[in-house]
Structures are given as structure tokens and as C-alpha cells.
Homo-oligomer: A and B are copies of this chain.
Amino acid sequence: MIDVSRLRADTPGVKKVTHFNNAGAALMPNPVIDAVQDYFEHEALYGGYETHRKRGNQIEAVYQSLAELIGADRSEVALSDNATRAWDVMFYALGLGEGDRIVTTSSEYVSNWAAYLQARDQKGVVVDVVPDTTAGDLDVEALESMVNERETALITLNHMPTNGGLVNDAIAVGEVAARHDVAYLLDACQTIGQMPIDVREIGCDMLTGTSRKYLRGPRGVGFLYVRDSFADRLDPVFVEVENAPIVLPDSYTLARGAHRFETWEKSYANVAGFGAAIDYAMDVGIAEMWERIQRLASTMRQQLSMIEGVTVRDRGLTKGGIVTFEVDSRQTLEVRELLAERSINVSVSTPFSAPYDMHARSIEGLVRASVHAYNTDNEIDDLISAIQILA
């Protein structure tokens, strides 16, 4: 059983706000805050490079923790300043060209979607969107027949969209990818830290995620996983001192594995915080948090759907911590601001957040309330009361 009072005692922000924006950036627990501040203060007193040399083991341990978190080897993980850049450096390194087909899902995140459009317009890549099941998930059977019918270079999808609670069946997708020997890139930005993730079980070749959302780390850190034997096929867009450790006057040699997507300069204070976030999540227990998150979100959906003038919009057979809804009488931004006046933090999804899905469903905007394991039933009651008043 999860010790919620410990989670809350560890989280100074819960005394200030009712935070249902965990899918944006969650409240950091003390071990994360302390790790960032401690590292940063050492830099201020002894110098940035000097601190990095002295604390090399601490930084290396972050990579080890990350690898453990997702069931990967150390050589298969790299850090980035954000999940989008982590995703970009791999997607663009695939070298997709004229006539190459990629297959994706309807609820793809805006930044990935923009990259697909650019690949289509500039390289002649063909973008196929898998139909949804009636429940709203990616239809794995439809995916398989699409991949079966014509050669496909890449299956690329989010694990959980930005604008809804559904969890795509990443493992079933991985089985399709394996059967047809298609490369598989999974965007786990919303699920990492929220639910157990094992890259071997999923069978993806590449996976990306972030620090600031369900892992509760600092902003400005993202990560990538790339399977060892897959990495060496990828030609990174950028080469520099870190991912090309040997540069001679006339030639350079790329690093092997995920390291070919690393960059030299970063905020190591934030990296230290990211490591503390991973260790904290693993210590609390991700499977246990996932169970609680699902229960809390389900309670929230149920209670919201009982309010007249409120429509819950989440789809999917399996649902996670993201709850999206509309309030008939209010604009979404207005709902966010009225809740903020009561120190309740929620977010909004606009048609730009997930362009294909929002247009397909003709949605103008959604209020997004995303719960984490440190949230409580009392906090949900507060949100429900507030929505009842403003609906």
C-alpha cells in the first residue's frame, strides 16, 4: 500500500495548491528539490566544471537509474533538454525519404505531428493514420493490416496523448512491429513515471520521455532510449564534441549507442534532480502509484460526469491520470483561471495540442485535470465543488 501521507509530507507544494496539472509539470518532492539546490550551490561555490568532475559518479548514477527505470542497458539511454528534442534527434536521424511510409495514431502530439508534416512536405514521406477502435484507442488489428499491406518504415505513436486519459496498447503494437520487422518509436512523455514501463516488454526500438511530468523532476530535462543494435543505424543530425568524441582535422568518429544523441553542455543541477526524481519514484513504487492514479482519475471522471453542463471527453479502454472535460457554459481558459483563483491548478488542451484528433472530434478546447498519486479524494472534492459552482 502506498503511504500517501509520506508523499504529501515530501511535497511542499501541496500546502499551497491543489495541483491537477501533473501532465504539464508535477509538483517536485523534497529529494528532487534538494538534489537540484545542493548541486547548484556546489557549482556556485566551486565552479561548474569542477563540480562536474567531483560529482561524476552522481551524474553517472542518474543514467544508471534511468536505465533501471525502463529496463534498458546503460548504453541505451541519453539525456536531452526536453522530450521533444530527444524525440527529434532520433526521428530525424532515421533518414526517411521519398515514399517511405510511417504509421501513427490519431491522437499524436502537436510537435510530433509537425515533424510528420515536415517529413511529408520536404522528403516525400507518406503518413498513414491508424483508425481508432470504437473505444478510441489505436486499433492494433487495423495497424497490423496496414503494415501487412505495404512496406512501412516506422511505427511512431504516443503511449498516452496530451489531451486525454487513454493508454495505447504499446506492447501489442510492439508485437506487430516485431512480426513485420518495422522500426518502432514510442513517445512515453505522459506515461513515464505514471505507469510501469519496460522497453524490452514493449519491444520498441526507441522511446522518449521527460523529467517534469509524472516523474516529478525539474523542468528542462528529457531523455531517450534507443536499442543498442538499432542505434548504430542512426545518423545523428548534429555532430559535436560529445557525440563525436574523436574529431581530427580531417575526420570524426561517432559515439556508439545512445551516446550519439548526447550533447556536451547541460544543466547538471537539473540532471541531478532528474536522478533524484527517478530514485524517488522507484522507491515509492510505480506500480502502486499507477493503481492509485487510475482510481483517483476514475473517481474524478465519475463525479464530473454527474455535474449538469459538464462532459467528460476521455476515451480508451485503459485510462490513466489525465482527465479531460468541457464545461458548456464556459471557455476552457476561463475555467482554468476561475479554478486558479481557488488555488486549483488545471491545464487546457487547445485544437493545436493534438491537431488531428481535436479536429476529427471537432473539439474547440478541453479542460485537463491530471492527477498524481500524491493527490487525494479531498482534493478531488474541492475540484468538483468548484466546477459545480462555475458550471
Contacts and interface: CB of A to CB of B under 8 A. Distances in A.
Interface of A: 12-13, 16-17, 19, 21, 24-28, 33, 36-37, 40-41, 43-50, 81-85, 88, 92, 110-111, 113-115, 117-118, 210, 212, 218-222, 237-241, 244-252, 263-270, 340, 345, 347, 352, 355-356, 359-360
Contacts of A270: 220, 267, 270
A118 B82 CA distance: 25
Contacts of A113: 247
A359 B245 CA distance: 16
- Most chain B CB within 10 A, of A28, A47, A245, A250, is at A47
Contacts of A110: 240-241, 247
How many chain copies?
Answer: 2
CB-CB nearest 3 A-B residue pairs: A220-B267, A25-B48, A81-B81
Contacts of A248: 355, 359
A263 B269 CA distance: 20
A241 B13 contact: no
Contacts of A263: 81-82, 84-85
A240 B81 contact: no
B118 A239 contact: yes
Given A47-B13, A50-B17, A81-B265, A218 B40 contact: yes
Most buried by B among A33, A249, A269: A249
B46 A17 contact: yes
19 contacts: A17-B46, A17-B47, A17-B50, A21-B47, A21-B49, A24-B47, A25-B47, A25-B48, A37-B37, A48-B219, A50-B345, A81-B263, A83-B265, A111-B264, A115-B240, A219-B265, A220-B220, A237-B237, A267-B267
Contacts of A19: 47
A121 to B, nearest CB: 8
B44 A238 contact: no
A23 B247 CA distance: 21
A181 to B, nearest CB: 27
Contact of A355 (B27, B43, B249): B249
A280 to B, nearest CB: 14
B44 A12 contact: yes
Contacts of A241: 84, 110-111, 114, 352
Contacts of A44: 12-13, 27-28, 33
